[in-house]
Chain A
Amino acid sequence: MKKIYELVLGVVRKPFFIFFVMSLHAIIIFTPVAIAENIKRTGISMRVPAQAFDPIDPLRGHYLMFQASVRAVKPPEICKGECSEGYPFSAWLVPDEEGNAKISWSEPQEEGIQAFGQPDWRMTGLDEIPSAWMYVIPFNRYYVSEKNIEDLEKKLREAPSDKAFVTLKVKGKRAIVTSFDILE
């Protein structure tokens, strides 16, 4: 154990080590930049309906909090093992011909992002079996300048459920948010 410690200590004290550490840090910091730039330039656009979401997050900053999801009313025919009330816990959202998100119950070969199911209680009572599930994407915030955030939050809360959309760029199984639109 002592030998291993001394060996590590010997490497740590070599002059190149600190520059090696800086290089690793640079790689860690700039990898997300490279990934995001690649998705932004070569990804496919996909629109997902969004609703206002009450954030339990006092440190949310100037972010518009939302919940973007696609609703599944009918139970899927394919339900591999892990299901609840006939619905699988997760699904994939893929872009259709017009760039709108649609559900795929199997992992797509091309572009698509994973969404997680939760019961839609709007149409049913809390003690009943839900009649629909929402497949929610793991994006819930959009940075907005401090001048516009209040106005946009208000608009989102007042907008009908089919008038607000978050637009993503999808490349493979990764995505970034590119815009948030509320139709008048």
Chain B
Amino acid sequence: MVSNFMDERSFEIHLRALEEKGLLLPAEIERIRRRAQGEEPRAWLYFILLGVGITLVGGGLILLIASQWDSFSFITRIVVACIPWLIASVISVWVWKQKNEDWAWSEFTSLAWILTIGVALILITQTYQLQGDAGWLLWWWALAGWIAVVALPSATGALINSFISVHAVLQLISGIRPESGLLVTLPLVLLGFIFLIARFSSLAPWRQGVVVFAMSIASIFIGVSSTQGDPQSSAHLPYWILLIGMTSIMTIIVGTYGSRFIYTLRTLFSILSGILLLGTTQLFQSQTGTWFPQTMQWTWQTIPNLIIQLVIVLSPSIVYLFNLKTWDTWKIMVSLLPVLSWIGWGVGGILGAIVLNVSVIGLAGVGILHGYCTRTLSTLNAGVILFIGLCLLRFFDYEWSFLARGIAFITAGVCFLTLNVYTRRFFNGKLV
């Protein structure tokens, strides 16, 4: 691990430039270099615990508001729908005036602005029971989003807006419903996810191209097989291919450049992809009835779907086992957690839900701890992504009431925040 924002070469160039200008002493240079080589990982751990804690508490509060939604009057609903947007707008004005040159503030504020506009539009649509296919909503959302991106430049915001705009265009030209449009983003999911594999970025560009091409072909198979049963699905194939081509080019550009800006975008891209991956696998389940081999209806179309699912499920185990220096029972058991989660999903019921959730939490925890101990940012990110993905799925889990989910989220969030405080105290004085 060199830095969160730049690769090793750029880091050294900047460091030498500072040294030549005489702005830093040799001792300071050495100290910076030592820290960059992974001697300050604790700040990352605090950041993760704090970020996850705040996200869970925030999600819990949203769920608690949702539990009271039916008791709100029309006016109250509209006001509540607009509050996040108003808060984001006020922060945006402050950032625009005070922190315009700070890319991190600009990036995340712009993103928050775009998302809160979407939240307001969606809740207003729900309150008035407006048109269900919501094609116009996507157009308005994309327009508002691009205006926000012009005011506060944000690469992530632009990426999210691209998704929204592409969905709006697909909706217009082929009548694809927004939720089906989520399936169309699958190539992006798979392509983005491969950046989590640490060795991918060190591959020669032509090898990267081969991997991306193979993933694109696999995505087409998934697209075709997961829309089986829909007589109009074959009409969507050209749009799939078009979108896959666009996303492949975008992914290659994003993945092969090495500036600070692109590095950050790549990390965010991977996180987004991980979240979408879990969402999409859930979508597969409803598309194909079930994805468990024993009960799946076998047709030629389901075979590529199943193969990709197996690859997704088994790849963490294979990568983990491949990287093992020493073999012991505990580590092999950990490597089987993805398979266990898959079985839990297939079995269903309360027992299956417990097996699935516990194994995914275990896998995420192992990823975070392993990444932290070995100073491997990609493994640590993978663990965090898995955990966030699970939280997202449980957030939209309609088997449980809003109230129960809200309390569970806030409790889990408070646990993470407490852990953050205790970790800080534990390492107090030991931080470089």
Partners in one complex: yes
Residues of A whose CB lies within 8 Å of any CB of B are 8, 12, 17-19, 21-22, 24-25, 28-29, 31-33, 36, 40, 56-62, 138-143, 145-147, 175-178
**Which 10 A-B pairs give the minimum distances between C-beta atoms?**
A36-B128, A177-B129, A145-B70, A140-B132, A21-B151, A28-B144, A141-B132, A139-B132, A57-B179, A18-B96
The verdict on B384 contacting chain A, using a C-beta distance below 8 Å, is: no
Inter-subunit contact B148/A25 (CB<8 Å): yes
* Beta-carbon nearest neighbor of A68 in chain B: B132
Shortest CB distance B161–A (Å):
14
Shortest CB distance B62–A (Å):
13
The verdict on B93 contacting chain A, using a C-beta distance below 8 Å, is: yes
* Beta-carbon nearest neighbor of B183 in chain A: A56
Residues of B within 8 A of A21 (CB): 147-148, 150-151
* Beta-carbon nearest neighbor of A119 in chain B: B231
**Chain B 99-137 interface 0/1 with A at a Cβ cutoff of 8 Å (1 = within):** 000000000000000000100110011101111110001
The verdict on B297 contacting chain A, using a C-beta distance below 8 Å, is: no
Inter-subunit contact B120/A29 (CB<8 Å): yes
Residues of A within 8 A of B92 (CB): 18, 22
Shortest CB distance B321–A (Å):
32
**Chain B 366-399 interface 0/1 with A at a Cβ cutoff of 8 Å (1 = within):** 0000000000000000000000000000001010
Residues of A within 8 A of B148 (CB): 21, 25
The verdict on B54 contacting chain A, using a C-beta distance below 8 Å, is: no
Residues of A contacting B: mostly: mixed
Residues of A within 8 A of B67 (CB): 146
Inter-subunit contact B131/A25 (CB<8 Å): no
B131 touches which of A19, A28, A61, A175 (Cβ 8 Å): A175
Shortest CB distance A27–B (Å):
9
Contacts A56-B286, A58-B396, A62-B398 hold; do A28 and B129 have CB atoms under 8 A apart? no
The verdict on B82 contacting chain A, using a C-beta distance below 8 Å, is: yes
Inter-subunit contact A24/B147 (CB<8 Å): yes
Residues of B within 8 A of A147 (CB): 70
Inter-subunit contact B125/A32 (CB<8 Å): yes
* Beta-carbon nearest neighbor of A36 in chain B: B128
Inter-subunit contact B140/A28 (CB<8 Å): yes
Bound-state Cα–Cα, A32 to B82, Å: 13
Residues of B contacting A: mostly: helix
The verdict on B401 contacting chain A, using a C-beta distance below 8 Å, is: yes
Bound-state Cα–Cα, A59 to B177, Å: 13
Residues of B within 8 A of A58 (CB): 282-283, 285-286, 396
Residues of A within 8 A of B93 (CB): 18-19, 22
Residues of B within 8 A of A140 (CB): 132-133
Bound-state Cα–Cα, A97 to B268, Å: 57
Inter-subunit contact B151/A33 (CB<8 Å): no
* Beta-carbon nearest neighbor of A62 in chain B: B398
Residues of A within 8 A of B69 (CB): 145
Inter-subunit contact A61/B128 (CB<8 Å): no
* Beta-carbon nearest neighbor of A54 in chain B: B286
Shortest CB distance A169–B (Å):
10
Shortest CB distance A65–B (Å):
9
Inter-subunit contact B128/A176 (CB<8 Å): yes
Residues of B within 8 A of A142 (CB): 129
Inter-subunit contact A32/B128 (CB<8 Å): yes
* Beta-carbon nearest neighbor of A142 in chain B: B129
Bound-state Cα–Cα, A22 to B150, Å: 12
The verdict on B78 contacting chain A, using a C-beta distance below 8 Å, is: yes
Residues of B within 8 A of A61 (CB): 396, 398
Inter-subunit contact B129/A178 (CB<8 Å): yes
Residues of A within 8 A of B307 (CB): none
Shortest CB distance A125–B (Å):
14
Bound-state Cα–Cα, A125 to B182, Å: 32
Contacts A17-B151, A56-B286, A58-B282 hold; do A138 and B131 have CB atoms under 8 A apart? yes
Bound-state Cα–Cα, A58 to B130, Å: 20
Residues of A within 8 A of B396 (CB): 58-59, 61
**Chain B 331-363 interface 0/1 with A at a Cβ cutoff of 8 Å (1 = within):** 000000000000000000000000000000000
